[in-house]
Amino acid sequence: MLRTLSAKAYDCELHRELEKLDADFGSWREGRMSSLELTERIHTFHQGPARELYLQYTRDSFPTVVVALAINHGLLSREEVPAELHDVLENALEATKELE
């Protein structure tokens, strides 16, 4: 279940970043941005937010910490977490609050 919650948070953050890129595609379609500039924005997205999120959520990640951070950042609500995971997450929630 922790991996499922982690995947949901990853999708939420990736969606936020893709919305920014979608706005750039809109500007390109309307002729307010060149193809070259759009390509640069895509490259920047891939090397920046997409890569950072991928590493955060997949590479050497600890699902307990990832889910705790997602709750603390408002990406997931405590209500979405099954009761049997509350005890597992309690220490991680406290520890990640201190990282803010």
Q: CA–CA separation, 88 vs 4, rounded Å?
A: 15
Model confidence over 37-47: pLDDT tens digits? 999 999 999 99
**What average pLDDT does the structure give for the chain?**
92
At 35, list the tokens: 């193809």
Which tokens is 22 given? 């979608």
Q: How many Å separate Cα 82 from the centre of its chain? A: 21
Please state the rounded mean pLDDT for residues 27-33: 98
Q: What's the pLDDT at 100?
A: 60
- What distance in Å separates the CA atoms of residue 55 and residue 49, rounded to the nearest whole number? 10
Please tell me the predicted confidence (pLDDT) of residue 6: 94
Q: 35-45 vs 2-29: helix axis angle to the nearest 10?
A: 170
Q: What percent of the chain has pLDDT over 90?
A: 72
pTM over 0.85: no
Rounded to an integer, what distance in angstroms lies between the CA atom of residue 45 and that of residue 84?
37
